Amino acid sequence: MKNAFRMGERVYLRPVEVEDMELFLAWMNDPEIHQYLLRVKPLNRTEEKEWLENLHKREGDTLFGIAVKEGDRLIGNCGLHRAGLPHRSAELGIAIGEPAFHGKGYGAEAIRLLLAYGFDTVGLHRVGLSVYANNARGIRCYEKCGFRREGVKREARWWNGRWWDILEYGILEQEYRKVTPQGAAK
């Protein structure tokens, strides 16, 4: 396993490397993945390389690669963004880039590892996220991990010829502790 940071049953989180750039570009520009991203423009090498090279300088952002243990294969990434004091709050982002791993629980396992890191190591109080209403698979995953729907930005996104709502979700530390057995994520 390449530089494993947090271990789950089937996946582990590891630091992201500049060498991961080609995979990230392919995933982020794939129409199936791209429809769920906050960005509208395609991602180019220069922009992605600069972002990856400067990631370590951004105090409030921590990004991990999601790798499956079996075959030691990178399948996506996840991270906590805009984390910090005084609010002890962060925004979660995740993408499973490899289609063969969609809908099989890998994202939920990675989110649980990320939440354990955020609440147990970083000392966060709240983790939030935004998800487009057309992302049914993502919504099921977030709710399965204990996130609660907090609000709706009505018709806030224009995509593929129509308006979509943006749903706001969050989980508080005490809610995380209720749904996560002690020591479940290392």
| Tens digit of each residue's pLDDT (9 = 90 or more) over 56-100 | 888 889 999 999 999 999 999 999 999 988 999 999 999 999 999
Q: Give the pLDDT of residue 168.
A: 98
Determine, yes or no, domain membership for 84: yes
pLDDT tens across 154-177, in order?
A: 999 998 899 999 999 999 999 999
Q: What is the CATH number of the domain that holds 101?
A: 3.40.630.30
**Structure token pair of residue 133:** 């209403």
Q: What's the domain range around 120?
A: 6-179
Determine, yes or no, domain membership for 11: yes
Q: Give the pLDDT of residue 96.
A: 96
The type of residue at 131 is V
Peptide bond into 15 cis (omega under 30): no
Burial class of residue 80 (count of CB atoms within 10 Å of its CB; 0-12, 13-18, 19+):
buried
Q: Give the pLDDT of residue 58.
A: 87
Instruction: Place 9 in a pLDDT band, splitting at 50, 70 and 90.
Output: very high
Determine, yes or no, domain membership for 66: yes
Number of neighbouring beta carbons within 10 Å of residue 152: 12
Q: Give the pLDDT of residue 37.
A: 85
Determine, yes or no, domain membership for 94: yes
Q: Give the pLDDT of residue 34.
A: 86
DSSP string, 33-82: HHTTSS--SPP-HHHHHHHHHHGGG-TT-EEEEEEETTTTEEEEEEEEEE
Determine, yes or no, domain membership for 34: yes
- Strand 126-132 and strand 89-96: pairing? parallel
Q: Give the pLDDT of residue 181.
A: 66
Determine, yes or no, domain membership for 1: no
pLDDT tens across 12-63, in order?
A: 999 999 999 999 999 999 988 888 887 788 889 999 999 899 888 888 899 9
Average pLDDT in the 178-182 region? 76
**Structure token pair of residue 11:** 């996946």
Q: Give the pLDDT of residue 184.
A: 47
Determine, yes or no, domain membership for 184: no
Determine, yes or no, domain membership for 185: no
Place of tokens 């005084």: 86
Model confidence at 186: pLDDT above 60? no
- How many structural domains comprise the chain? 1
Stated pTM of the model: 0.92
